[in-house]
Amino acid sequence: GAVVSQHPSRVICKSGTSVKIECRSLDFQATTMFWYRQFPKQSLMLMATSNEGSKATYEQGVEKDKFLINHASLTLSTLTVTSAHPEDSSFYICSARDRGGIQYFGAGTRLSVL
Amino acid sequence: GQNIDQPTEMTATEGAIVQINCTYQTSGFNGLFWYQQHAGEAPTFLSYNVLDGLEEKGRFSSFLSRSKGYSYLLLKELQMKDSASYLCAVRDPMDSNYQLIWGAGTKLIIKP
C-alpha cells in the first residue's frame, strides 16, 4: 500500500508553545489530506480536511485559529497547534487520499502538553 | 442522520474464524472501508468494497450488501497479532470532500 509519513511521532511541550506536525505522502500525490484526533479508547474524530492550494475545511467545534493547517504541495500538509494547553494533549493522525479514493494513515503524533 | 454500527468488542480463539459485522445508514454511499488499528497506533487499510459481494485478500475477506446496508469482515486462521480494533467506514458522496464516516470500532481479543 501507499506510504504516509508523519513527524514527529511524539512531542512533549510546555503550555503556551506551538507544535508543528508534518504529514507527507511519499509515493503518491494527495490532493486531499485529513487530520484526525483520537482520545484513548475512542474512535477517530475528524478535525479538518486539507485540500492542496486552498483553505482547509474545519469540522464543527474545531477552532481554525488554534489548529492551523497548511497544504502547500500535493505531498505535504502541516498541522500547527498554536499556544498548546494540557487539554490539547491527544493522539493526532493524518491521512492522505490517493487517486483511487483510499485513505492511508500516517503513524500518528502523540502530543503531551505539560 | 449518518450512522454506522459495529459490535464494541468480540473475543475469538487463535486459529479460528471470526466475522465482524457492520451496518450503516447514510444519506449516500460511495464505498465501504475496513481498517485495522492496534492500540496506540494509527489505522492501516485492509479492504474496500463498492460493489456487492465478497472481496478476498489472504486471511481477510470483506463482504458488502448495499441493499441491506451491511458489511462484514471475515478473519481466518486467527493469529495473536490480529488482536486489534477493526474500524468500518463509509464514504459519503454527499460530502464535498468525500470524507469517511467512521464506526466506533470493534475491539477483537484473540485468546490462545
| Coil, strand or helix at A83 | coil
Residue B60, CA distances (Å) to A102, B70, B90, B109 in order: 17, 17, 19, 16
The parts of chain B modelled with pLDDT lower than 50 are none
Yes or no: say if B15 and B78 are a contact pair by the CB < 8 Å rule: yes
**Least confident piece of the model among A7-21, A37-51, A76-90, B50-64:** A37-51
Residue B29 contacts A, CB cutoff 8 Å: no
List, as ranges, residues 11-70 from A with C-beta within 8 Å of B: 32, 34, 42-44, 46, 49, 51, 57
| Pairing label, strands A10-13, A109-113 | parallel
B84 burial level (CB within 10 Å; 0-12, 13-18, 19+): buried
Interface touch B99/A1, C-beta < 8 Å: no
Residue B110, CA distances (Å) to B9, B46, B81 in order: 11, 18, 8
Report pLDDT digits (tens) over B75-91.
999 999 999 999 999 99
Report pLDDT digits (tens) over A54-81.
889 999 999 999 999 998 888 999 999 9
